[in-house]
Copies of this chain bind each other. A is one copy, B any other.
């Protein structure tokens, strides 16, 4: 198409600016200036580090401080010093603040639902497109954190992993893959791990580690969301899980996989894994090991 990609990004920007502007003004509809509303939206009920909020909004510390005082005066948030580092402060939502947030949520929710409804039969495609763009824009903020293997996010990641496997590997008996995973307990500390990669509040990748014996652990459930592929996230997840394994004290890692998952296997080979004899049953048909 004659219109170059840059021109198209700028068209995208124009379209989205209008939409975002409309959303902003609807927040103003709750009688609070935008700056304050934005801060409020980043304060979690359990408490959020102030520096984190400032970072994300790129706010001046003075301005931020005033917003917080104002929100405090309104009784929406409460602040306390972080016991771990008493220079830092943590803000958390009060009950009243949570109610206010719900009101904001429902304003945004309604608008968002309308927009998605407008996409009609292509709604899925539109949501996937938004995921792709948001993941790209958030790329620098991507964070890998430990998670409870039974949390809804972890289960969702594993479900996505299974769906992916089923789509790509011809499996005689899909019931090989139950969920929740019966071995999930072994993904817990101290001997196991379940790591999730977050892009904002969307889980875009995971990997699990479970003990085989005192010196050997197994890597399981390496998965990356479609929107985050091609950006080195698998590698980051593997690097991280290997570091965790080393820290726990394992001496080597193993994994089993299927030959249909070519990119994953290429990654393993490129990062020091080597083939070993079978140690599990189908649908696995590739087995690998890596010394730590």
Contact = CB atoms under 8 A, between A and B. Distances in A.
A225 B122 CA distance: 14
Contacts of A131: 8, 12
Interface in A1-48: 1-3, 5-21, 23
A6 B112 contact: yes
A115 interface: yes
Nearest to A151: B2
Contacts of A112: 5-6, 9-10, 13
Nearest to A138: B15
A9 B132 contact: no
A125 interface: yes
Contacts of A130: 8-9, 11-12, 129, 133
A243 interface: no
Contacts of A122: 132, 136, 229-231
5 tightest A-B contacts by CB?
A: A129-B129, A12-B130, A2-B156, A15-B134, A15-B137
A230 B126 contact: no
A139 B202 CA distance: 28
A61 to B, nearest CB: 18
A160 interface: yes
Given A19-B137, A20-B13, A131-B12, A123 B202 contact: no
A108 interface: yes
25 contacts: A2-B153, A3-B202, A5-B116, A6-B112, A6-B116, A8-B127, A8-B130, A9-B112, A9-B130, A11-B130, A12-B134, A13-B19, A13-B112, A14-B134, A15-B200, A16-B16, A21-B58, A115-B136, A115-B137, A121-B230, A122-B231, A125-B132, A128-B129, A129-B130, A130-B133
A231 B11 contact: no
A62 interface: no
Contacts of A152: 2
A113 interface: yes
A19 B230 CA distance: 21
Interface string A133-154: 1101111000000000000110
A29 B238 CA distance: 41
Given A11-B201, A123-B5, A156-B1, A133 B133 contact: yes
